[in-house]
Structure 1
């Protein structure tokens, strides 16, 4: 997604250090619904833990050194467990959270994906296919699904949360989709949720990788509720203790527990929303026009965003803009199918590998993009990214 890849950004501080896990552990066999109904059953594998309390399934991301960077093996554990809970006839609620306060999920294990794709692209195909399938599941889950997104939440972490009905942010939450800095595009359903944010905020965030923090995550629409970290345990306990958990009863608990935006500072981008809405309009002809408008505006904020965009992959900027244009008219399923095509075509291109090299491997932060300017990225080249690779099947969800 950076997607999942989500440990991405043109600045090294945006990308937490990720460990590379090249081996893929076998998917743990699902616990039977009978066993899982015991007062509490916990799986203690290294990357993901599963708890079960009072008809509530709890997923805990547990890869602290990598800030829970999403790996294929993690996805292969989470998906079947969610399917099991969804169909066992007893589970009423699912909560996903992190075992560490610093991050919910900082993205995807990008370097591992890059290494694998160099061997034939099979790992990347499987990763994206299974990750996007999990994203679709969270967006169409039959049970109430609550994501506690405290700490760093980027790329794959956004995909694991934003499609669900309930997302709890805290004062430590940091949200970003910085894929254009590594030659990628905001995937994991970014083409669905970003163009649906008000004031063209999603276009702005998708192109620039701008980071939202704390209450801003609620203001922007990534979160549905805001709870201070010192009250998370209390709120989780209330959720688990709901006599009969369903959408309405879960919403009622969260509504009563959530702090209002009126009790916090206003949206930090409030004064910039008119500019963002105008400059980053999804109806704009092309990305070049956006850069021209920023330069013409001349304000400190506009020029700062202009400088940021000039560092990004020109191909990624144009690809992202076209992706968001198309995504505003598609449902989540069709957005993910589109993104799967984009991901496969991106993997056989140049800029993704160069971006990962510059940001995560050599860390010189001096990517050599090809082409190196927007004017040299043709409309035909962008259109080709949206075509199904002849060697691959479309995403089946």
Structure 2
């Protein structure tokens, strides 16, 4: 068990604490395996009636994602380590989704990417005033994975499409208003103390839960639903640009800075995921995408620009023109194809 994940039982509660503060608790393969091992051990343990997931106090991130730098290093080579990371991470996401006991994620801080995967699929998701939720993957040449193809298209209207393509952030109570968090507790200290003291879960959550006021994005819902309901990124951009709402123009400008390949993958991922009836099938689809997209030029370039060199000037592959567009369509089609015996095994 890695010391970057601390697991123990406190008063009938299995507690998992993320402990990689310098990386805002970004997940590694070993951390995901450690979490999975604890959940497996506790699933049939009568001494454990619920699970609480938090992060080491004194840091501003619940979990900022996965260890993308290592994934990129693998993708530039044989891709084996990257595929192994996604296999372990996505299997953990599915385990959380199907977990038979209450799984309470305290999303008290930055919750992005991989941090979303270990929280949003749990039975109880607690947002606080410190919560910053986002799926910013299209900005690094990736796509909103960890089950994004399942929960994002099931949010109201086209809210999930907007979040997936632009990487927009939701803060505090807006995470509950969007239907991502199940509860909103402005400050989490007393709630956590009562849960870990063995208090009745439903009663404690009801005691501290607060209603979510009108979200910051409320005035843009009509534009989101009107512009992001298209089946191509080009059509979405066209819908945004003539719109008289300055906010819509801002979203169009954001899309021009994202990886065109990632935008196309993400949009199809959400449209396919919306039609699927099995969470596990969505994870299998995303595993195929992850194994392939992390070996592309755009992903390597996105990680270089945003995470490694930090110049924030990624030079995306040029897909402009009819011939290039056809090539992009063919490349996207290939990414969704089966990996055969290498597919993620969840069934």
TM-score bucket of the superposed structures, by smaller chain: over 0.9
Matched, 1:275 2:244: no
- SS at 1:51 equivalent: strand
Q: Structure 2 CA distance, aligned partners of 1:227 and 1:60? A: 19
1:233 aligns with 2:194: no
- Residue number in structure 2 paired with 1:313: 259
Equivalent position of 1:351 in the other structure? 298
- Does residue 176 (structure 1) correspond to residue 134 (structure 2)? The answer is yes
Question: Which of these residues, 80, 97, 102, is aligned with residue 122 of structure 1?
Answer: 80
Q: Take 1:234 and 1:374, find their aligned partners in 2: how far apart are those partners?
A: 57
Q: How big is the shift at 1:239?
A: 2.2
Q: Deviations over 1:359-385 (max 9, x none)?
A: 111222121111344863332221111
> Following superposition of structure 1 onto structure 2, how do residues 131-150 of structure 1 map, counting pairs within 5 Å?
131-150=89-108
Q: Distance in 1 between matches of 2:15 and 2:306?
A: 34
Cα distance in 1 between the residues matched to 2:244 and 2:334? 35
Q: Which residue of 2 aligns with 1:381?
A: 331
Note the C-alpha offset of 1:90.
Answer: 2.2
| Mapped partners of 1:251, 1:279: distance in 2 | 39
CA contact (8 A) 1:62 1:98 kept: yes
What does 1:143-292 correspond to in 2, within 5 Å?
143-229=101-187, 232-242=188-198, 250-262=201-213, 266-281=214-229, 284-292=230-238
- C-alpha distance in 1 between matches for 2:177 and 2:62: 19
Q: 1:276 to 1:364 in 2, by over 3 A?
A: same
Residues of 2 paired with 1:221 and 1:373: CA distance? 37
C-alpha deviation, 1:396, in angstroms: 0.6
1:300, distance to aligned residue in structure 2 (A): 1.4
User: SS at 2:210's partner residue?
Assistant: coil
| Residue among 299, 308, 312 paired with 2:245 | 299
Greater shift in the superposed pair: 183-192 or 45-54: 45-54
Which residue pairs with 1:96 in the alignment?
A: 53
Q: Return the offset for 1:46.
A: 3.4
Deviation (angstroms), 1:220: 0.9
How far does residue 199 in structure 1 lie from its aligned partner after superposition? Answer: 2.1
- 2:105–2:126: 8 Å Cα contact kept in structure 1? yes
Could you tell me which residue of structure 1 aligns to residue 4 of structure 2?
A: 47
1:348 deviates by 2.5
Match of 2:272?
Answer: 326
Q: CA RMSD in A?
A: 1.6
Separation of aligned partners in 2, 1:253 and 1:203: 34
Unmatched 5+ residue regions in structure 2?
A: none
Q: CA distance change for structure 1 residues 372 and 361 in 2, over 3 Å: closer, same or farther? A: farther
Q: Secondary structure at the match of 2:342?
A: coil
**Aligned length, in residue pairs:** 341
Residue 62 (structure 1) aligned with residue 11 (structure 2) = no
| 2:43 corresponding residue in structure 1 | 86
1:279-327 CA-to-partner distances (Å, cap 9, x unmatched) read: 111xx23111100011010321011111100011111111110000000
CA contact (8 A) 2:6 2:18 kept: yes
| 1:32-64 C-alpha deviation (Å, 9 max, x unpaired) | xxxxxxxxxxxxx53111131111110000111
Partner of 1:339: 286
The 8 Å contact of residues 105 and 152 in structure 1, kept in 2 or not, is answered as yes
3-state secondary structure, aligned to 1:94: strand
**Structure 1: unaligned runs, 5 residues or longer:** 1-27, 29-44, 244-248
Alignment equivalent of 1:73, drawn from 24, 27, 30: 30
